Structure 1
Amino acid sequence: MTIPTDTDTDTDTDTDTGRDPAAGSVFEDASAQALEDLTAVVGRVQACTALGVSRATYYRHHRHSPAPVRPPRRERRRHPRALEAAEEERVL
C-alpha cells in the first residue's frame, strides 16, 4: 500500500484513507465465505461470535423473503365535534 501525497492525482483510491474502494468488498466477500465455512463446522451462532459479526446483521443480509408490506393508509375520520361543511362555509 502506498501513502498518498498532496501531489497524487490517482482517482482510483479513497482520498481519506488511501485505500482502494474495491478492497472493502474483497474483504467482505472473504469474510462472508469464512463465515459460511465456519458455520458448517461449529454452527451459525458460534461462527458469528468468532468472526465478530452480529447475527441480526447476518440474517438481515441473508433474508430470503421480501420486507414486510405496509398496510394501506386509511382515510382520516372527521372528529365527531367538527363543523359540518355548511357550518364551516358560514364561518369562513
Structure 2
Amino acid sequence: MIKPELEKGNSISLSLYPGCMDHIVRIQGIDEKGLWIDDPNGHCPLACMLDRESCKTGYDKGTRNTTNPLAGNDNLYTWEEIAQITIKYMVVFSEQ
C-alpha cells in the first residue's frame, strides 16, 4: 500500500504510538530494510520508540536532538522496529 503511493509521487504521513504519545512522521521511502522516515523531532532509535510506545517518555524529556536540526531526516526504521510500535493511521497526500 505504501510503495505504490510513493511511486505515484504522493506524500505519506503516519500517525505513530498510542494516544498518550501521538506523533506524526513523513515517509521518505520504502525498501527491503524498512521505512525511511523524516521525523520533525529528530531521530528516535529503537529504545526511544519503545519508551514512547509504552508511554514512558517522549522527545520533550531528553530524546529530542536539538543540536542537529537535520537529525530527523532520512532515518531508517527497520521492519523489526516498525513491528514493535503502533501505527494508528496513514494519510496519503496527492495533487490529483
Q: Which has the higher contact order (CA 8 A, sep 6+)?
A: 2
Q: Say which structure is richer in strand.
A: 2
Q: Say which structure is richer in helix.
A: 1
Instruction: Indicate the TM-score class for this superposition, using the shorter chain for normalisation.
Output: under 0.3
Q: Is the radius of gyration larger for structure 1 or structure 2?
A: 1
How does the TM-score come out when normalised to structure 2? 0.22
